[in-house]
Amino acid sequence: MLNDKVVLVTGAAGGIGRATAVAAAREGARVAVADLNLEGARETALLITDAGGSAIAMRTDISVPGDVRAMVGAVLDRYGRLDGAFNNAAIAQWQCGAASAKIGDIGEDAFARIMQVNVTGTWLCMRAELEHMSRNGGGAIVNASSISGLVGRAGSGAYSASKHAINGLTKTAAIEYAASDIRVNAVCPGFIDTVFVSSSLATRGDALLASVPMHRLGQPEEVAELVVWLLSDRARYITGSLQGVDGGFMAG
Ligand SMILES: NC(=O)c1ccc[n+]([C@@H]2O[C@H](COP(=O)([O-])OP(=O)(O)OC[C@H]3O[C@@H](n4cnc5c(N)ncnc54)[C@H](O)[C@@H]3O)[C@@H](O)[C@H]2O)c1
């Protein structure tokens, strides 16, 4: 599906990002793996090269403009082009000391950090990618949103606000760049089996699974399938969409 394409995946040291980087390589892409966690990014790249694919790993903090410029610059230096990007890196409230905090109880630092990484970081990545893709004949971008970008969920107000903001960036860019042959979509995963949901699982695992019609967590690979397809030319008439992958959660 991605033969001859160069694909960038942020937050690809593990979880959904790693699964997507590996799936993109399996589908023929050369893959740039970026993460704050360089060790993990290198492990992902090694999974790809050990299987006969091509990958580079880099340390990037998506909330730092210079890092994001350097990330896209490194992809162009190595591969000469960028056809697809999965802007997947993000943080949850528990990673900022605001686990399960109600709107009125979230600290200023935690709120600002979530916005800085999830919203500003995603926008910085989009800006750098769009700049290159507009000059080079098009491309496809997928942003990581969430079911929390579609509905409110108690205890995740800052995270939910950040994912709703990503939907706005996604839809606006889809309109603005359609004429440049750049498609921009978002995926909205439900509860996926990664460290990201470990805190919620530990405190309210039964309730969480009861809210999913399929009564199980999704696997990172099940999200990766959707992302890879959206990045491919098979999804050529799809832009500005928010695609669910949630075991039926949003149907409830
Ligand atoms: N796991 C879920 O249930 C779930 C559900 C809905 C949406 N999502 C979204 O999917 C995406 C991936 O989450 P995951 O579940 O694989 O979790 P994860 O924690 O395994 O992946 C997130 C990755 O982002 C990286 N990262 C964090 N801050 C960064 C920064 N500033 N710069 C660069 N990299 C940074 C982390 O090092 C990590 O490797 C996130 O956007 C998350 O919001 C996850």
Q: Report the pLDDT value the prediction gives residue 200, as an integer from 0 to 100.
A: 80
Q: Report the pLDDT value the prediction gives residue 207, as an integer from 0 to 100.
A: 87
Query: Which segments within the chain are labelled E, that is strand?
Result: 6-10, 30-35, 55-59, 84-87, 139-144, 182-189, 242-245
Q: Which of 92, 87, 122 is nearest to 230 (CA)?
A: 87
**Secondary structure of 26-73 as H, E, C letters:** HCCCEEEEEECCHHHHHHHHHHHHHCCCCEEEEECCCCCHHHHHHHHH
Residue pair 156/165 in contact by the 8 Å Cβ criterion: no
Q: Report the pLDDT value the prediction gives residue 37, as an integer from 0 to 100.
A: 98
Mutate to test the pocket of ligand 1, among 22, 62, 147, 194 (most ligand atoms within 8 A of CB): 194
**With a cut of 70, which residues of the chain have pLDDT below it?**
none
Q: Report the pLDDT value the prediction gives residue 110, as an integer from 0 to 100.
A: 98
Q: Is the CB of 167 under 6 A from ligand 1?
A: no
Q: Report the pLDDT value the prediction gives residue 203, as an integer from 0 to 100.
A: 80
Looking up tokens 């998506």, which residue turns up?
A: 62
Helix (H) or strand (E) holding 247: none
Mutate to test the pocket of ligand 1, among 125, 196, 216 (most ligand atoms within 8 A of CB): 196
Looking up tokens 């959707």, which residue turns up?
A: 226
Domains of the chain, each with CATH number or no CATH: 6-241 (3.40.50.720)
Q: Which of 239, 10, 6, 229 is nearest to 123 (CA)?
A: 10
CA-to-CA distance for 87 and 245, rounded, in angstroms?
A: 16
Q: Which of 36, 77, 67, 9 is nearest to 224 (CA)?
A: 9
| Catalytic one of 79, 159, 177, 237 | 159
Mutate to test the pocket of ligand 1, among 35, 187, 201, 204 (most ligand atoms within 8 A of CB): 35
Give nearest CA residue, ligand 1 atom 20. 15
Could you tell me the two tokens for 54? 């091509």
Q: Report the pLDDT value the prediction gives residue 109, as an integer from 0 to 100.
A: 98
Q: Which atom of ligand 1 is nearest to the CA of 118?
A: 41
Q: Report the pLDDT value the prediction gives residue 198, as an integer from 0 to 100.
A: 81
CA-to-CA distance for 19 and 218, rounded, in angstroms?
A: 12
159 assigned to active site: yes
Q: Report the pLDDT value the prediction gives residue 201, as an integer from 0 to 100.
A: 82
Q: Report the pLDDT value the prediction gives residue 194, as an integer from 0 to 100.
A: 96
CA-to-CA distance for 87 and 34, rounded, in angstroms?
A: 10
Q: How far is CA 165 from the centre of its chain?
A: 14
Q: Is the CB of 61 under 6 A from ligand 1?
A: yes
* Phi (first) and psi of residue 139, to 5 degrees: 165, -170
Q: Is the CB of 247 under 6 A from ligand 1?
A: no
CA-to-CA distance for 175 and 187, rounded, in angstroms?
A: 17
> ∠ at Cα 30 (163, 37), nearest 5°?
50
Say how many Å lie between the CA of residue 11 and the centre of ligand 1. Answer: 6
Q: Is the CB of 91 under 6 A from ligand 1?
A: yes
